[in-house]
């Protein structure tokens, strides 16, 4: 399974866009990019996923580079409640869906 | 619809004791997982199951056992508790998202079980 690299921490002003980068240079063609976040000590929460096209939902946007070696999660208008650890992970599509490995993620701090 | 329910929320064990962490989901998800999270670290996969009667090891399976006799339940057993097993344990389940991109794996997590071994 491909590994990911994320900066350990970032900060962002409330109301501004938060752009969280992720490198996954060894990703294979059949692997999705997923983003989750963990607020304080709660269970992680799914945000968004993508394969090769950019994706948007009510929580965030996901931009994946054309070569698929990196991606950016965008929170368009960050709020204090978006302060959390954000995990970028890759997972194989298809029959071997069992394994999703989480790294240490990026601690995003949104300040007033 | 309760989602993923974990019990107990907190537990203190003595070295060498045994216990079972319970996990139940009511979403009819086929896939279930156990992760552990040590302070300041990411989540590490202990065991997972892709259906009733099918389990497989993750990254850190030593010291743990699982079973999956029903779709809903996926208990995690610690046979001989050790201080290294002090951690927060998260259970998760997932479904296959059928959209234009089939085969995606979206996990729903429980609230966690905090275990201390002294």
CB-based contact A35:A50 (threshold 8 Å): no
pLDDT, one tens digit for every residue, chain B (118 residues): 789 999 999 999 999 999 999 999 999 998 899 999 998 888 899 999 988 999 999 889 999 999 999 999 999 999 899 999 999 999 999 876 545 456 677 889 999 999 999 9
Tell me which residue of A83, A110, A103 sits closest to A34, measured CA to CA. Answer: A103
Query: Which residues of chain B make contact with A104, given a CB cutoff of 8 A?
Result: 41-42
What is the Cα–Cα distance from A69 to A4, expressed in whole angstroms? 10
Q: Is B41 in CB contact (< 8 Å) with chain A?
A: yes
Which residues 54-73 of chain B have a CB within 8 Å of chain A? 56, 58-59
Query: Which residues of chain B make contact with A41, given a CB cutoff of 8 A?
Result: 88, 112
Which residues 17-36 of chain B have a CB within 8 Å of chain A? 31, 33, 35
Q: Are B58 and A32 in contact (CB < 8 Å)?
A: no
What is the Cα–Cα distance from B35 to A16, expressed in whole angstroms? 33
From A106, which residue of chain B is nearest by alpha-carbon distance? Answer: B42
Smallest Cα distance from A90 to chain B, Å: 10
Q: Are A91 and B111 in contact (CB < 8 Å)?
A: no
Query: Which residues of chain B make contact with A45, given a CB cutoff of 8 A?
Result: 109
pLDDT in tens, A2-58: 589 999 999 999 999 999 999 999 888 888 899 999 998 899 999 999 988 899 999
Tokens linked to B105: 């794996």
Best probe of the B interface among A100, A105, A106, by most B CBs < 10 A, is: A100
Smallest Cα distance from A101 to chain B, Å: 7
Q: Are A34 and B106 in contact (CB < 8 Å)?
A: yes
Check residue B12 and give its pLDDT: 97
Check residue A95 and give its pLDDT: 45
Q: Is B109 in CB contact (< 8 Å) with chain A?
A: yes
Q: Alpha carbon of A89 to those of A65, A79, A86, B15, B23: distances in Å?
A: 15, 23, 10, 34, 24
Compute CA B116 distance to the chain's CA centroid, rounded to the nearest angstrom. Answer: 16
Check residue B3 and give its pLDDT: 94
Q: Is B105 in CB contact (< 8 Å) with chain A?
A: yes
CB-based contact B21:B115 (threshold 8 Å): yes
């Amino acid at each position: 399974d491909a590994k990911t690299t994320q900066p350990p921490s970032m900060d962002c002003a409330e109301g501004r866009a938060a752009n969280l980068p992720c490198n996954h240079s060894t990703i294979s063609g059949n692997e999705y990019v997923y983003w989750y976040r963990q607020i304080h000590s709660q269970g992680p929460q799914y945000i968004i996923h993508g394969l090769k096209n950019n994706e948007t939902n009510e929580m965030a946007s996901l931009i994946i580079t054309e070569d698929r070696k990196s991606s950016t999660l965008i929170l368009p208008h960050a709020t204090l409640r978006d302060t959390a650890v954000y995990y970028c992970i890759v997972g194989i599509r298809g029959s071997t869906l069992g394994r999703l490995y989480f790294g240490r993620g990026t601690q995003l701090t949104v300040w007033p | 619809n309760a989602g993923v329910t974990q019990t107990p929320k907190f537990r203190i064990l003595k070295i060498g004791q045994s216990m079972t962490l319970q996990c139940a989901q009511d979403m009819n998800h086929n896939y279930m997982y156990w992760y552990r999270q040590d302070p300041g670290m990411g989540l590490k996969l202990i065991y997972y199951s892709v259906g009733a009667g099918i389990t497989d090891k993750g990254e850190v399976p030593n010291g743990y056992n699982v079973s999956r006799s029903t779709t809903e339940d996926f208990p995690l057993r610690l046979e001989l508790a050790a201080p290294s097993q002090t951690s927060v344990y998260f259970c998760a389940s997932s479904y296959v998202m059928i959209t234009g991109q089939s085969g995606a794996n979206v996990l729903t997590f429980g609230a966690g079980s905090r275990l201390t071994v002294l």
